[in-house]
C-alpha cells in the first residue's frame, strides 16, 4: 500500500484531549470536502498542484517517523482526508515501531486500521460522516465559522459514544479576529450543554508546526496563510 504524503513534521498536538503532547504529523494528500476556510488547501485545491507530494509505502513513513521523532511521541495521521486510504498497513507499521497512532478525519468512509485514537471533525455542509466512524470516535472537533455551524455539526453525530468529548473550535480566521459572534456562540453553547467543550488551536498561537524544518513553508493562495499562523 502506497500513500501520497503532502508533508511530515514533528511538533506537538495543538488541540483536543491530547493537547500539548509531542506528535509527529503525517499529512496525506487529497480531500473531497472543499471547506471554504480549509487551512490545508494545498492538499486538495484544484487550482493548486503541489510539486512536493511524495508517494511512500507504510514502512518508509513509519521508519522516518521513528527517525525524526523520539520514542514516546505519538503519530497523528491527518490530511487532506486520510480515511480515503487503507490505513491498516501504515498503522501496523507504526505499531511495530512502538508508536501510538491517532487519526484526524471527517469520517466520510469506513475506517481501516486499528487506530489508538480517532478525532472526528464532521463537515455538515459537505459529506456527512459514516455512522461507523461516528460510533468509533474518541472525540469530535466541530469547526465554528458561523454560529449556525454548532447545531449543524451536532446534527451529524447520531450514535456518538456518551464518553466521546465534543469540542467547539472557532475557525482560525474567526479566532484570530476575536469574532465576538462566534466566540460568544461557543460560550453560550457550552454553558447550555455541559457535554460540549470550548476549544482553541493552540499550535497556531505558538506557530509550533513552522519550527520544524520539514513542515510545509509554501504560501498557498487558498485557505490558510502560514505567515498569519493558519
Ligand atoms: S475536510 Fe479538512 S482537509 Fe478537507 S477541505 Fe475540510 S478542512 Fe480541508
Q: What is the CATH number of the domain that holds 68?
A: 3.20.20.70
78 annotated among ligand-binding-site residues: yes
Segments forming the whole domain that contains residue 172: 2-212
Query: Who's near 85: CB < 8 A, 6+ residues apart?
Result: 1, 3, 28, 112
Alpha-carbon gap, residue 134 to 153, rounded angstroms: 12
156 is in an annotated binding site: no
Residue bearing cell 457550552:
190
Q: Assess whether the C-beta atom of 34 lies below 6 angstroms from ligand 1.
A: yes
Strand 165-170 with 139-144, pairing: parallel
Q: Is 38 in the pocket of ligand 1 (CB under 6 A)?
A: yes
Please check if 11 is assigned to a binding site: no
Our mutation pick for probing the ligand 1 site, out of 15, 27, 41, 80, counting the most ligand atoms within 8 A of Cβ, is 80
Residue 217, pLDDT above cutoff 80: no
Average pLDDT over residues 201-223: 77
> How confident is the model at residue 230, as a pLDDT?
45
Cβ of 151 below 6 Å from ligand 1: no
Counted domains in the chain: 1
- Cβ of 120 closer than 6 Å to ligand 1, yes or no, is no
Asked whether the predicted pLDDT for residue 221 surpasses 60, the reply is no
Confidence at residue 229, expressed as pLDDT on a 0 to 100 scale? 45
Does residue 220 sit within a domain?
no
What's the confidence (pLDDT) of residue 91? 98
Tell me whether residue 227 is in a domain: no
CA of 42 to the centre of ligand 1 (A): 10
The average pLDDT across 68-76 equals 98
CB neighbourhood size of 13 (10 A): 23
Centre of ligand 1 to C-alpha 68, Å, is 26
Residue 56 covered by a domain: yes
64, with CB counted inside 10 A (0-12, 13-18, 19+), is middle
Q: How far is the CA of 31 from the centre of ligand 1 (A)?
A: 6
Residue 106 domain flag: yes
Q: How many angstroms does the Cα of residue 79 sit away from the middle of ligand 1?
A: 7
Write down the mean pLDDT value for the chain: 92
User: Does a structural domain hold residue 161?
Assistant: yes
Residue 89 in domain: yes
Give CA separation, 174 vs 87, 140, 149, 171, in Å.
Answer: 33, 19, 13, 5
* pLDDT per residue as tens digits for the range 138-151: 999 999 999 999 99
Q: What is the mean pLDDT of residues 47-60?
A: 89
Residue with C-alpha cell 472557532?
170
CB 117 within 8 A of CB 102: yes
**Global pTM?**
0.94
Residue 218 lies in a domain: no
Span 196-213, mean pLDDT?
88
Is 132 known as a binding-site position?
Answer: no
Min mean pLDDT across 35-49, 75-89, 94-108, 204-218 is at 204-218
Quick check: is 219 in a domain?
A: no
Amino acid at each position: 500500500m502506497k500513500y501520497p504524503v503532502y508533508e511530515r513534521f514533528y511538533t506537538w498536538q495543538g488541540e483536543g484531549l491530547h493537547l500539548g503532547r509531542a506528535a509527529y504529523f503525517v499529512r496525506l494528500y487529497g480531500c473531497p470536502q472543499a471547506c471554504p476556510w480549509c487551512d490545508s488547501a494545498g492538499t486538495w485545491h484544484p487550482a493548486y498542484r503541489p510539486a512536493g507530494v511524495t508517494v511512500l509505502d507504510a514502512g518508509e513513513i513509519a521508519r522516518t517517523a521513528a527517525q525524526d521523532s523520539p520514542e514516546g511521541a505519538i503519530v497523528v495521521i491527518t490530511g487532506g482526508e486520510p480515511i480515503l486510504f487503507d490505513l491498516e498497513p501504515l498503522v501496523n507499521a507504526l505499531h511495530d515501531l512502538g508508536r501510538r497512532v491517532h487519526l484526524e478525519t471527517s469520517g466520510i468512509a469506513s475506517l481501516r486500521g486499528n487506530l489508538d485514537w480517532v478525532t472526528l471533525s464532521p463537515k455538515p455542509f459537505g459529506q456527512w460522516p459514516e455512522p461507523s466512524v461516528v460510533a468509533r470516535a474518541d472525540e469530535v472537533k466541530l469547526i465554528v465559522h458561523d454560529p449556525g455551524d454548532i447545531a449543524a455539526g451536532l446534527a451529524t453525530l447520531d450514535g456518538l459514544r456518551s464518553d466521546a468529548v465534543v469540542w467547539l473550535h472557532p475557525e482560525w480566521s474567526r479566532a484570530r479576529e476575536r469574532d465576538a459572534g462566534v466566540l460568544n456562540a461557543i460560550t453560550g453553547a457550552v454553558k447550555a450543554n455541559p457535554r460540549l467543550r470550548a476549544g482553541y488551536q493552540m499550535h497556531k498561537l505558538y506557530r509550533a508546526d513552522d519550527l520544524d524544518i520539514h513542515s510545509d513553508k509554501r504560501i498557498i493562495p487558498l485557505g490558510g496563510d502560514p505567515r498569519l499562523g493558519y
